[in-house]
Amino acid sequence: MEAAKKERFEPQSPNPIKMVKRNNPNRMTYKRQKKVLGILFSLPALVLLFTFLILPVILAFIYSFMDYAMLRPGEKTFIGLDNYQRLLTDGNFLNALKNTMYFTAVVVPLQSLVALGLALLVNKKVKLASLGRVFFFSPVVTSMVVVAILWTFLYNVENGLINSVLNLFGIPNQPFLLSPNQAMNSIIFMSIWQAAGFQMIIFLAGLKEVPEELYEAAEIDGANAWRKFLNVTLPALKHVTAFVLIITTIQAFRLFVQPFVMTNGGPSGSTKTLVYMLYEEGFQFRDVGYSSAISVVFFIIVLSVSLIMKKILVKE
């Protein structure tokens, strides 16, 4: 290797590119050269993207029309729309769809609001603000599995910290994760606590971009804090808000770790989500065909919801 490098740097040895330019009448134009180089540089990324992102999507689409047991990859057979037909009559699927929709519908607006509130809170130019930023952001960088296990302890019906605090106010022990009516809401609460810090950072970046002059102008016009927020801050954050809402929606749809760690999808299936079901059918029950059909439907749902949201939120 050393030898190869030295050879190249020897003064006599001509620069290969210059040589091409000098001797070859069909030499590339600078523009063309840049294009080729660009493709060359992006090739590794493109290859990875194709292998690990595009190819699996294509395969999932193909497998969704097959009877494919994971342990018998040699015995795949095409069964047409059977898997999709089964989906329509599968109570588990409809339940998972309902739970996923509920989670998304509650988490997206709530989490975005909380994140905006946090961002406004830590945007103040006071000393504690940066401490607040660290405080609110730290759950985001913690692994979701760790957070989920910790919250399982917090939610414990007999010995959990939250119930101990509630007891102080005379509220009896709540079966947070053991009741079909409370389990999903408990997961929603901890999910917002965990993830809001991320959206907060995005909102914060948006807030920093709002020109100070606008506030000054508003002040001269006699606007109070609330009017300033309503008529200056919010309109300036329009694009950031759209981005946050769409990103949060996509994340919310993918809910898996929390129910997997905390409730096993129970009790009575009340926290089973689409991604959970996809994992269960595909890996645990080794029915790759059916699992692929779920993933295709999931893909279509997430794609159309985000497209609709984009259409509504980003007008120009």
Partner 1 sequence: MKRWGLGFLSIVMAAGIATGCSSNDDVVSNEASNNNQSGSSGDVVNLTVWHPESSREMTAAYSEIFEEFNEMHKGEIEVSYEFIPRGNQYAYEDQVSAAASSSSLPDLLSLDGPNVANYADSGIIQPIDGLVDNIDDFVDSVIVQGTFGDELYAIGPTESTVALFYNVEMLEEAGITPPTSLEDAWTWDEFYEAAKTLTDRENGIYGVNWTLDYGEWIIYFSGPTVWSNSGGFIAEDGSTTEGIMNSPETIEALEFLQKFAEEGLVNLQPTPTEFEDGNAAMMLMGSWQWENLKEYPDTEWGITYYPRSPKGEQVSPSGDWTWGMSTNTEHQEEAALLLNFLTNEENGLKLALASGKPAARKSAFDNMTEWNELPLRVLKDQVIETSHPRPRTTSYPVLSARYGEAVQNIFLGADVKEELDRVASEVERDIERQSR
User: Is the CB of residue 272 less than 8 Å from the CB of residue 92?
Assistant: yes
Residue 202: both structure tokens together: 């995005």
Q: Which of 133, 287 has the CB closer to partner 1?
A: 287
Q: Which of 128, 171 has the CB closer to partner 1?
A: 171
Q: Which residues here bind partner 1, judged by CB under 8 A?
A: 1, 4-5, 8-9, 15-18, 33, 37, 67, 69-73, 156-159, 177-179, 260, 264-269, 280, 283-288
Backbone angles phi, psi at 66, to 5 degrees: -120, 155
In the chain, the amino acid numbered 253 is: F
Long-range contacts, 151-159 (Cβ 8 Å, 24+): 151/186, 151/190, 151/262, 152/177, 152/261, 152/262, 155/186, 155/190, 155/262
Least CB distance to partner 1 at residue 268 (A): 5
Least CB distance to partner 1 at residue 147 (A): 17
Least CB distance to partner 1 at residue 248 (A): 28
Q: Which of 179, 185 has the CB closer to partner 1?
A: 179
DSSP lists the bridge partners of residue 78 as 66
**CA dist., res. 60 & res. 245, Å (int):** 28
Q: Which of 104, 280 has the CB closer to partner 1?
A: 280
Least CB distance to partner 1 at residue 267 (A): 5
- The CA R_g of the chain, rounded to the nearest whole Å, is 27
DSSP 287: B
Q: Which of 81, 307 has the CB closer to partner 1?
A: 81
In the chain, the amino acid numbered 123 is: N
Least CB distance to partner 1 at residue 190 (A): 16
Least CB distance to partner 1 at residue 242 (A): 38
Q: Which of 47, 300 has the CB closer to partner 1?
A: 47
Other CB atoms within a 10 A radius of the CB of residue 271 amount to: 27
> Residues with Cβ < 8 Å from 107, sequence gap 6 or more?
188, 191, 192, 248, 252
